[in-house]
Amino acid sequence: MIHSSAHIDASAEIDEGVSIGPYSVIGPNVKIKSGTVIEGNAFVHKNTFIGKDNLIYPFASVGGDPQDLKYQGEDTFLEIGDQNEIREGSTINRGTVQENGKTIIGNNNLLMAYTHVAHDCILEDDIVMTNNAGVAGVVKVGRGARLSGFTLVHQFCHIGSYSFSALGTIITKDVPAYVRVSGNPAIPRGLNTVGIQRQNLSKEAMDALKESYKILYLRKNKLKDAKLEIISKFKNIKEMDLFIESISNTERSIVR
């Protein structure tokens, strides 16, 4: 159902089964798939694709121009997958031509009120961003990560899958998968045991993660040496791939 007071651009493609509430605005070149609900007073800007069964709350701003001084009005894009919940006052910006040209939100994510996702970010699946958390441009957030309220992430950082940041954490370097961080700047506080338990990892993988954390953080190894030791010991355990990748493919180094 589309409310009579909603404004829909003529170029927008709205599937049957989409609900758009009063006074919401749907801009040009927007595509919205079936089952998605956009409540009243929300704004979906141009060049935005929204998949199935999403729920977008009032005063969310989805697909707005990137907040980047290099942006000069080029056509850039936002893609949102399925079954995401975007709460009141949240903002998600499109990409820039200098980077990916596209911001990507995966599936089954919860962006609580007043969260911000900047240009060219990639959020995978099953992520929770709690109220007022924000990620700067070109940040990648891995599957199942949890960013607590008022967490702020510096541009270009990678947040590892199933990691956890505590309230008010300021992240300026990459966070490895499964690691729990807090503070300003963020420092490691142990493994995210709750997130690990939810993955039903094998005992072998659990033991490998615990040993890897000790090698990386508790034994005063140089970072290069710690990485080599972890890879050498655990590269044949498939469930360790996420952790090994998150400490190997880093441009900003990792929290320590």
pLDDT of residue 217: 96
The C-alpha angle 62, 64, 69, rounded to 5 degrees, equals 145
Mean pLDDT of 218-239: 95
The residue ranges of every structural domain in the chain are 7-191, 196-248
pLDDT at position 103:
98
49 CB contacts (<8 Å, ≥6 apart)?
Answer: 30, 31, 77, 78, 79, 80
Rg (CA), the chain: 20
Predicted local distance difference test score (pLDDT) of residue 134: 98
Write 168-176 long-range contacts (CB < 8 A, 24+): 171/255, 172/252, 173/250, 173/252, 173/253, 173/254, 173/255, 173/256, 174/246, 174/250, 174/251, 174/252, 174/253, 174/254, 174/255, 175/246, 175/254, 175/255, 176/216, 176/243, 176/246, 176/247, 176/254, 176/255
Average of per-residue pLDDT across 10-17: 98
CATH of domain 7-191: 2.160.10.10
Mean pLDDT of the chain: 97
End-to-end Cα, the chain, rounded Å: 51
Distance, CA of 178 to chain centre: 15
Kindly state the average pLDDT of the residues 24-30. 98
Residue 85: CB atoms within 10 Å: 17
Active site residues: 119-120, 137
Contacts 24+ apart (CB under 8 A), 145-151: 146/192, 146/195, 149/112
pLDDT tens digits, 97-145: 999 999 999 999 999 999 999 999 999 999 999 999 999 999 999 999 9
For residue range 37-79, list pLDDT tens digits in order.
999 999 999 999 999 999 999 999 999 999 999 999 999 999 9
Determine if the peptide bond prior to 185 is cis (ω within 30°): yes
What's residue 249's pLDDT? Answer: 87
CATH 1.10.10 correct for 196-248: no
Is pLDDT at 251 greater than 90 in this prediction? Answer: no
Give the count of beta carbons closer than 10 Å to the beta carbon of residue 189. Answer: 17
Structure tokens at 216: 């990386």
Q: Please answer whether residues 175 and 165 qualify as being in contact, where contact means their C-beta atoms are separated by less than 8 angstroms.
A: yes
